[in-house]
Chain A
Amino acid sequence: MIQVESLHKRFGKNVVLAGLELDIHQGGIFAILGPNGSGKTTLIKTLLGMVIPNKGSITVMDSPVRNKWKYRQDINYLPQIANFPGNLRVKELIAMIKDIRQKPSNEQKLIGLFGLEPFLDKKLSNLSGGTKQKVNIVLTFMFDSPLIILDEPTNGLDPLALIRLKELIFEEKAKGKTFLITSHIMQFVEEVSDQIVYLLEGKIYFKGSISELKTKTGQSNFEHAIAAISTHNNHD
């Protein structure tokens, strides 16, 4: 599904990705973890073609990414910070994205699921952070695409919405979809993910299941295992 080969990216003098290699097969939920500034968002943005790598190649569903855009038709992306044009209404934003994507969509079901009906006629600049994130989720999940990328999906969500989000993720996973998720909430990661991809200093430091990670670090608690893997490196 995704092949990344010796990916390099620098922003000025700051090296963010240093020869990253990644191979992700179809189906399942992959959590991309790593300390702040380890290159998670940059990796996701290179997959989406928003950041252009200095070196290396990326293939998404057998299509090379460089200077291409059609492959994004098969990706649903939830950006980290839900910034929308403020003078649009929620309804208009949804209609606009539908118009651009030209794919069948099931936004009605999702609007009901997250209780967004009262906000449809409100302007996006007047919504709270959590409500914006719900709109963000509706926009991401309303199309049927094989690859779904979620950057900090739990941001600002209330407990009920969080439960709905998890149900939604499992429902889509059951249909054979592939997820890439970044999150700082380890409990959420442990609940949903099948595989952990741990980034450190612009490279993949660990890739495997949660139980493999626990064995490797000798920790029984996932959160401690993640903490251990970062400190472990410092002693190298």
Chain B
Amino acid sequence: MPLRQYQPTTTMIKILKYSFYDLMRSRWSYVYFLFYLLLGFVLLFLNNELSKAVITLMNVIIVLVPLIGTIFGVMYYYNSKEFTELLLAQPIKRSSIFLGQYFGVAGSLTVSLVLGLGIPFTLYGLFQSNAIWDFSLLLLTGAFLTLIFTAVAFNIALANENKIKGFGYAVLAWLFLAVIYDGLFLMSLIVFEEYPLDNLSLIATMFNPIDLSRTLILLKLDISALLGYTGAIFKQFFGTNLGLLMSIFMLFLWTVIPVWRLGYVAKRKDF
């Protein structure tokens, strides 16, 4: 009998490797990497202080990372359709194909983010400063947001044969979580201002990964005093270790559920 390897995990790693190399070879990964590299240097040059640069950076990351994850996720799924069809006829488990591709995309985006920002900040003396924890948390949430939004994008693409529709829905999903959600949240706070809304706002924050990341970083940076009374309530919760763990757990759930659904849907689809 010839040597045969049947382990699904090793095949998944192989698919991941090919997708990762494929993306690392594409121009867009470099553009993304260079963008962060440039952003890091410019911010450090303008702010002259690590902790301030971290705050500015947060505002950029919170919005941009999900957008890039969404767009790359959808584009990669549709562009690799032929590759997928080729793989489907091979002795590979379906979930290995899709999870391999997903982790290939999300992985290469995360590498671009971490290296692109890590290099300028390290050169500026990050390891000697106390901003290192804030910065690490920033990169951690950035990585989570990449994983989350790429997974959401893959889910949307898998459900839509039509590229334009899939692209539209994915961008809408991003727009909703990045902009509209906050608007609705604010409006509800104004409408129901007579009622105690502390717990409601805590919960609403938990259900949006972008808000969750923003709150997490702001409170870690200890500028919650700027947020007034609600800030104090948030600080009480998020500022504690329990709050931190709880938030990271929620981000983890936000990652695991779409990834699980990806495998589940892929198993039942016709190609």
Contacts and interface: CB of A to CB of B under 8 A. Distances in A.
Interface stretch (A99-107, A111-119, A213-221): A99-107
A50 interface: yes
A103 B89 contact: no
Interface in A42-81: 45, 48-52, 67, 69-73, 75, 77, 79
A103 B6 CA distance: 11
A6 interface: no
Nearest to B96: A69
A96 interface: yes
A102 B3 contact: yes
B87 A100 contact: yes
A103 B2 contact: yes
Given A77-B89, A100-B87, A11 B22 contact: no
Nearest to A140: B89
Given A73-B91, A100-B92, A84 B3 contact: no
A72 B269 CA distance: 18
A97 B82 contact: no
A67 B18 CA distance: 24
A51 B6 CA distance: 22
Interface in A19-56: 45, 48-52
Interface centre among B5, B11, B89 (most CB of A within 10 A): B89
Contacts of B261: none
B89 A67 contact: no
Q: How large is the interface on B (under 10, 10 to 19, 20 to 34, 35 or more residues)?
A: 20 to 34
Interface centre among A49, A88, A100 (most CB of B within 10 A): A100
A85 interface: yes
Contacts of B93: 69
Contact of B89 (A52, A79, A84, A96): A79
Tell me the interface secondary structure of chain A in the complex.
loop
Nearest to A93: B86
A87 B22 contact: yes
B83 interface: yes
B107 to A, nearest CB: 18
Interface in B218-242: none
A83 B84 CA distance: 10
A11 B270 CA distance: 9
A86 B79 CA distance: 10
Contacts of B268: 52
Given A69-B94, A72-B90, A100-B90, A85 B22 contact: yes
A79 B86 contact: yes
Contacts of B269: 52
Contact of A73 (B4, B26, B83): B4
Given A85-B80, A99-B14, A72 B85 contact: no
Contact of A87 (B2, B25, B85, B87): B25
Contacts of A85: 22, 80, 82-83, 86
Interface residues of A, number: 30
Given A99-B14, A103-B2, A87 B90 contact: no
B5 A45 contact: no
A79 B269 CA distance: 18
Contacts of B94: 69
B271 interface: yes
Nearest to B89: A77
A45 to B, nearest CB: 7
Nearest to A44: B89
A102 B14 CA distance: 12
A233 B86 CA distance: 36
Contacts of A49: 88
B165 interface: no
Contact of B82 (A48, A52, A83, A99): A83
A45 B271 contact: yes
Contacts of B18: 96
A155 to B, nearest CB: 16
A86 B87 CA distance: 15
Contacts of A69: 91-94
B158 to A, nearest CB: 15
A85 B14 CA distance: 16
Given A52-B270, A70-B6, A104-B2, A84 B86 contact: yes
Nearest to A143: B2
B267 interface: yes
Interface in B90-105: 90-94
A188 B15 CA distance: 37
Interface string B1-31: 0111110000100100010001001100000
Nearest to A102: B5
Contact of A100 (B14, B22, B26, B80): B14
Closest 3 CB pairs of A and B: A83-B82, A72-B91, A73-B91
